[in-house]
């Protein structure tokens, strides 16, 4: 007598087989000794606008990781001009790399465009939560607005990052461009994007926040 399978049973078998295949693939990758993945998720400050790819802060971090004996690959997921809303739409794409750590450095373009801060906060909160739900540690890099945006806006904008990090238990770097912003020697003529030397300084400043999240 031939076994009888309903369409629902066939679907269950297909899902089960897919799960086994994914698990087998993950185990194979781990046994092959592939490096852990860090995704640098941001805008032009992450993409490295105006400098060579190897001079961006994600590339600098990867070089430093290797020099320190850590087996990590850093994926540069920076998109020039991106906002927190745009970043939210890219989370699923970034998760395809199966990151162990995600550096979220978004919000600068929202602030410069005077976006509603409730929306910025909500977008960042969901971005961090979705990466964490997928099992990634999140390092949230704060941003600052120039004083000409007004004391209230700049203060409320700065508070977003600390609030989201506190709520989600994420690691917080208070300001991505700490020690770099406002220094003509470390910035390109636009006064916004770091030079190659500036990105090296960004990498150096990020390191103490990133290192506790790493594993050998």
Query: Exactly one of 44, 56, 59, 203 is catalytic; which is it?
Result: 44
Catalytic residue (choose from 7, 31, 116, 190): 190
Tokens 């409730």, residue?
118
Task: Write out the chain's pLDDT in tens, 216 residues.
Answer: 334 334 444 444 443 333 333 334 344 444 457 899 999 999 999 999 999 999 999 999 999 999 999 999 999 999 999 999 999 999 999 999 999 999 999 999 999 999 999 999 999 999 999 999 999 999 999 999 999 999 999 999 999 999 999 999 999 999 999 999 999 999 999 999 999 999 999 999 999 999 999 998
Indicate the pairing of strand 171-173 with strand 72-78.
Answer: unpaired
Angle between helix axes 196-210 and 57-67 (nearest 10 degrees) is 50
Please report the pLDDT score of residue 47 as a whole number.
Answer: 98
Answer yes or no: 59 catalytic. Answer: no
Q: Which domains does the chain carry?
A: 1-34 (no CATH), 35-213 (3.40.50.1110)
- Confidence at residue 216, expressed as pLDDT on a 0 to 100 scale: 83
pTM: 0.85
Length, in residues, of the chain: 216
Q: Which pLDDT score is estimated for 20?
A: 36
pLDDT of residue 115: 95
Q: Does 44 qualify as catalytic in the annotation?
A: yes
pLDDT on residue 155: 97
Reported as a single tens digit per residue, the pLDDT across 91-102 is 999 999 999 999
Select which of 82, 137, 193, 203 is catalytic: 193
Q: Which residues contact 170 (CB under 8 A, 6 or more apart)?
A: 104, 128, 132, 137, 138, 139, 140, 164
Specify whether 36 is catalytic.
Answer: no
| Alpha helices by DSSP H, the chain | 7-31, 44-47, 57-67, 84-95, 108-112, 117-133, 151-168, 196-210
pLDDT digits (tens, 9 = 90+) for 35-49: 999 999 999 999 999
């Amino acid at each position: 007598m031939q076994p009888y399978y309903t369409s629902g049973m066939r679907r269950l078998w297909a899902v089960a087989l897919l799960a086994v295949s994914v698990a087998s693939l993950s185990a194979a990758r781990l046994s092959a000794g592939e490096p852990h993945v860090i995704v640098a998720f941001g805008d032009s400050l992450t993409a490295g606008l105006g400098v060579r790819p190897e001079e961006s802060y994600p590339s600098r971090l990867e070089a430093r990781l290797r020099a320190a004996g850590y087996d990590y690959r850093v994926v540069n997921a920076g998109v020039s001009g991106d906002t927190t809303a745009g970043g939210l739409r890219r989370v699923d794409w970034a998760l395809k790399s199966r990151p162990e750590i995600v550096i979220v450095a978004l919000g600068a373009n929202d602030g410069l465009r005077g976006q509603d801060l409730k929306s910025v906060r909500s977008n960042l909160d969901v971005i961090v939560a979705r990466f964490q739900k997928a099992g990634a540690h999140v390092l949230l890099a704060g941003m600052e607005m120039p004083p000409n945006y007004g004391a209230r806006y700049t203060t409320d904008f700065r508070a977003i990052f600390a609030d989201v990090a506190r709520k989600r238990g994420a690691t917080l770097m208070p300001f991505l461009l700490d020690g770099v912003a406002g220094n003509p020697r470390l910035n390109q003529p636009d006064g916004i994007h770091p030079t190659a030397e500036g990105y090296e300084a960004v990498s150096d400043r990020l390191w103490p926040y990133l290192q506790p999240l790493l594993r050998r």
